[in-house]
């Protein structure tokens, strides 16, 4: 059986991808370096090891996608992750975004609502390198009250509005990056919980995400 390996060829393709992200406006060198260390093809089917280094989203099964590298870099840059930050991620998917956060030194708590995807992703042997990532099967709209508060929250699915329970689980001084529905796409937003408890809302570019859906599913539809 063919095994995942990170060959010179992959490293070369990855370097080119990272350079292209820089040209597209990703300036945080820590984010670029972290993404340059992670073999993105490990998170996809073996057959797609070339496509893994194109700047595009890709299907990972169950109607879901691994986010486009530019989108991952963009959200991560906005999140301003510091080592030891407690970060809550909504939408584990392939776990690629979670690993990027872990490479930046974050303690990652990630939630996935689709049981099949949750089970499959956890089997990925590369994740043994990241024992600090905690995986949860559940509904991201609820967050993780038991582990709150968080320094940062990142939502990787299209939210109908800013999820109120996730705001509650944010520390004072904490930030949430979330794509919020606006007509047919999503406006990237960054919400900062300020010292007086009020929220600062910043708006960024438009993106296209799969929907954030209520409840969890065992794989028999939504």
| Residue ranges binding ligand SAH (CB under 6 A) | 64-67, 90-91, 93-94, 96-97, 111-114, 117, 139-141, 156-157, 210, 212-213
Q: Please write down the long-range contacts of 186-189, taking CB distance under 8 Å and 24 or more positions apart.
A: 186/158, 186/159, 188/74, 188/75, 188/78, 189/162
**Residue 98 vs 174, nearer CB to ligand SAH:** 98
Q: How far is the CB of 86 from ligand SAH (least distance, A)?
A: 17
**Residue 32 vs 200, nearer CB to ligand SAH:** 32
Q: How far is the CB of 195 from ligand SAH (least distance, A)?
A: 29
Residue 71: CB atoms within 10 Å? 22
**Residue 73 vs 111, nearer CB to ligand SAH:** 111
Q: How far is the CB of 43 from ligand SAH (least distance, A)?
A: 7
Q: Which two tokens stand for residue 162?
A: 């800013």
198 is catalytic: no
Beta strands, E only, the chain? 58-61, 64-66, 86-90, 107-112, 134-137, 150-155, 170-182, 185-193, 199-207
Both ends of the chain: CA-CA distance in Å? 34
How far is the C-alpha of 31 from the C-alpha of 18, rounded, in Å?
A: 10
99-120 burial by CB neighbour count: b if 16+ within 10 A, else e? bbbbbbebbbbbbbbbeebbeb
How far is the C-alpha of 50 from the C-alpha of 115, rounded, in Å?
A: 28
Residues 6+ apart with CB under 8 A from 145: 165, 169
**Residue 10 vs 209, nearer CB to ligand SAH:** 209
Q: Using alpha carbons, select from 32, 82, 43, 83 the residue that is nearest to residue 66.
A: 43
Q: How far is the CB of 196 from ligand SAH (least distance, A)?
A: 30
Q: How far is the CB of 194 from ligand SAH (least distance, A)?
A: 26
**Residue 67 vs 77, nearer CB to ligand SAH:** 67
Q: Pick the catalytic residue: 67, 94, 198, 208?
A: 67
User: So which residues are the catalytic ones?
Assistant: 67
């Amino acid at each position: 059986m063919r095994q995942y390996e990170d060959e010179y060829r992959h490293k070369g393709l990855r370097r080119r991808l990272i350079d292209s992200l820089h040209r597209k406006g990703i300036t945080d060198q820590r984010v670029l370096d972290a993404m340059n260390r992670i073999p993105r093809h490990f998170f996809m089917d073996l057959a797609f090891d070339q496509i893994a280094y194109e700047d595009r989203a890709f299907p990972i099964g169950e109607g879901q996608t691994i986010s486009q590298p530019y989108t991952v870099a963009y959200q991560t840059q906005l999140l301003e992750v510091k080592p030891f930050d407690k970060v809550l991620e909504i939408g584990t998917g392939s776990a690629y975004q979670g690993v990027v956060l872990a490479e930046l030194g974050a303690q990652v708590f990630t939630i996935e609502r689709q049981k099949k995807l949750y089970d499959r992703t956890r089997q990925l042997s590369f994740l043994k390198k990241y024992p600090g990532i905690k995986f949860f099967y559940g509904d991201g709209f609820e967050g993780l009250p038991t582990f709150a508060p968080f320094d940062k929250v990142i939502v990787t699915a299209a939210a109908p509005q800013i999820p109120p329970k996730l705001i509650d689980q944010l520390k004072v001084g904490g930030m949430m990056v979330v794509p919020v529905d606006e007509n047919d796409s999503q406006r990237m937003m960054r919400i900062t919980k300020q010292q007086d408890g009020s929220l600062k809302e910043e708006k960024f570019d438009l993106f296209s995400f799969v929907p954030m859906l209520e409840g969890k599913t065992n794989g028999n539809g939504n």
